[in-house]
């Protein structure tokens, strides 16, 4: 029996595993919930591969790593089990199956991808063919992987390829991703009574408004976007705000564009006399250029053809993932290999259950081929 036939026979089990993962809520901000979900992911990985993972805790966050064989890592598979959905979401929106489609918080981003990952490895483990394979499952991808970046880069260093199990819209693979930089702008003004002496204050909220317009003008869409996001100013309704803050999301395919935006943000100067500005760089990810995925995508097309799957299509996207990190250290990377679905991060998030076995077969074929085929 071929790997694809074994995986299609295992389709009911894959559905059950996805339901089990979604049933354990795991918002990025809840460490206890993440620990519970890590236990479920570890058990799934052990059942599929026969191996118990390393449990690595960084800043109280649990991450999991498997390494098979005693030699160097040939291929690394990366997935995450944190989601954007707060505790209690399942109470109003439970995991539901309707025909070949399921919905629920995290089904496509990316608990479905974890099911694909481990069942792909199960198909290979059946013939004892996991030497040189490593797996990293982290709990902070949705917030920029601040505690797992070093783990991912250390595990992937020197590998012939990295496979990222993020979800896929329409079955398309991610062959390029924008680089991302998050900034925090802090404005300091001077408080005063808004009724008695507004002229004695320096209004940090007004200064912030000036800067928001300047920052929004830095983008060059669609390739370079600079987006002011969450903001706040002031403390009470009758006080001139003494402070304000703004988050900024900058994205570009071209590293030179991110450098331009960085210089412009750091060069901002106050408009109001007496106001002060502080710009700080937060979590960031390098771009994943098309050149990082070209050979891997060609290999995936050959593997898909051998399996008899529909022709694979690639796309460049603005969203970031841990594929940015592996590509950033020079490892050939292919992303979007997880479950096919849609509406990630939104109500109605869904995944295609019928496609789970074929997706897992593609991943298994890639793991088998990477480092062994030209």
Pairing of strands 168-169, 340-342: parallel
Q: One of 17, 82, 109, 358 is an active-site residue; which one?
A: 82
Beta-bridge mates of residue 27: 83
Q: One of 17, 25, 140, 141 is an active-site residue; which one?
A: 141
Contact 205, 241 (CB under 8 A): yes
Establish whether 82 is a catalytic residue: yes
Strands (E), 286-362: 314-317, 333-334, 340-342, 350-352
Longest dimension (CA), the chain: 83
Peptide bond connecting 330 to the previous residue in cis, omega within 30 degrees of 0: no
CB atoms within 10 A of CB 261: 23
Establish whether 141 is a catalytic residue: yes
Pairing of strands 161-164, 75-80: parallel
Q: Dig out the tokens for 315 from the structure.
A: 């796309």
Peptide bond connecting 110 to the previous residue in cis, omega within 30 degrees of 0: yes
112-125 and 11-22 helices, crossing angle to 10°: 140
Tell me which residues are annotated as active site. 82, 141
């Amino acid at each position: 029996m071929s790997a694809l036939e074994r995986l299609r026979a295992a389709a009911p089990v894959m559905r059950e595993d996805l339901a089990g993962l979604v049933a354990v809520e795991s918002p990025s901000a809840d460490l206890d919930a993440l620990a519970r979900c890590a236990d479920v992911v570890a058990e799934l990985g052990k059942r599929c591969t026969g191996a118990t993972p390393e449990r690595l805790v960084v800043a109280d966050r649990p991450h999991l790593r498997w390494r098979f064989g005693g030699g160097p890592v040939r291929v690394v598979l990366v997935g995450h089990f944190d989601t954007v959905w707060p505790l209690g979401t399942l109470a109003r929106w439970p995991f539901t199956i309707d025909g070949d489609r399921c919905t629920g918080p995290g089904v496509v981003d990316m608990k479905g991808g974890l099911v694909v990952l481990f069942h792909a490895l199960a198909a290979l483990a059946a013939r004892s063919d996991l030497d040189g394979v490593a797996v990293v499952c982290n709990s902070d991808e949705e917030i920029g992987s601040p505690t797992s970046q070093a783990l991912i880069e250390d595990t992937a260093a020197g590998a012939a390829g990295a496979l990222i199990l993020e979800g896929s819209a329409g079955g398309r693979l991610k062959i390029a991703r924008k680089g991302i930089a998050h900034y925090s702008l802090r404005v300091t003004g001077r408080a005063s009574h808004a009724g008695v002496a507004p002229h004695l204050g320096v209004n940090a909220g007004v200064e912030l408004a000036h800067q928001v317009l300047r920052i929004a003008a830095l983008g060059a869409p669609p390739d370079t976007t600079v987006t002011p996001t969450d903001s706040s100013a002031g403390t009470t309704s009758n006080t001139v705000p003494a402070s304000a803050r703004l988050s900024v999301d900058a994205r570009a395919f071209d590293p030179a564009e991110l450098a331009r935006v960085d210089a412009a943000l750091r060069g901002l100067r106050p408009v109001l006399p007496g106001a002060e500005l502080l710009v700080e760089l937060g979590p960031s990810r390098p771009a994943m250029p098309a050149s990082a995925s070209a050979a891997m995508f060609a290999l995936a097309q050959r593997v898909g053809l051998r399996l008899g799957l529909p022709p694979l299509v690639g796309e460049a996207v603005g969203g970031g993932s841990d594929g940015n990190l592996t590509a950033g250290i020079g490892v050939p990377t292919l992303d979007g290999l997880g479950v096919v679905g849609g509406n990630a991060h939104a109500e109605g998030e869904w995944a295609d259950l019928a496609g789970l076995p074929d997706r897992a077969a593609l991943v298994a074929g890639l793991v088998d081929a990477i480092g062994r085929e030209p």
